[in-house]
Amino acid sequence: MAENLKGTRVAVLLTDGVEEPEFTEPKKALQNAGAEVTVISPKGGEIQAFKHHDKSKTYKADKSLDQVRPEDFDALLLPGGALNADALRVDKKAQQFAKAIDQAGKPIAVICHGPWLLVSAGLVRDRQMTSYHTIQDDLKNAGAAWQDSEVVVDGNWVSSRKPDDIPAFNREMTKLFAQRIVAADKRKIA
């Protein structure tokens, strides 16, 4: 059953070196479910995507980090790609953005190397999660309980390992986002 995310505002935070299918496929799944997706990059402008080690297409960011506020979004998607994730993890504004989303209890979907930002933001301690296998030590050393599973849901987070896992990731991401948004709406009404 397809989830209804109509009216849900999702921030997709990425930069040059993003793994193309980890960006485009989840974005398409969110849009197909009715979500309003905003592509955000620290610098704005054009983003160079990769397919593994090779340059692919460029994509335009809708906004720069300076142009957005975490409170304007209901959820966050962090695609992978080693170059993308390595650049984002040292960006203080990106760290603050992710922290604010998490502290508000909003859902976060992260895949592949994407968890590096969450590690650098100090958010992974005591979390159940997965990632690309090469960064499992980073997650474990930061206090996460790492699993080699195609998808892991823990509270307001869903994580996945790699492009092969995108179908399971998209399914669990849209499900989690729909559940969390409905729960938040009910709290507003009460």
pLDDT beneath 50: ranges in the chain: 1, 189
Checking phi first, is residue 81 left (phi over 0); if not, alpha (psi -120 to 50) or beta?
Answer: left
**pLDDT for residue 1:** 41
**Alpha-carbon torsion (140, 142, 143, 147), positive or negative:** negative
Among 96, 145, 107, 114, smallest CA distance to 3 is for 107
Tokens of 125: 């301690």
How many of the other CB atoms lie within 10 Å of CB of 105? 12
Give the active site residues.
113
**pLDDT for residue 184:** 59
**pLDDT for residue 180:** 73
Q: How confident is the model over 13-51, as pLDDT tens digits?
A: 999 999 999 999 999 999 999 999 999 999 999 999 999
**pLDDT for residue 13:** 98
Kindly list the structural domains of the chain, giving each domain's residue range(s) and its CATH number in brackets, ordered by start: 9-184 (3.40.50.880)
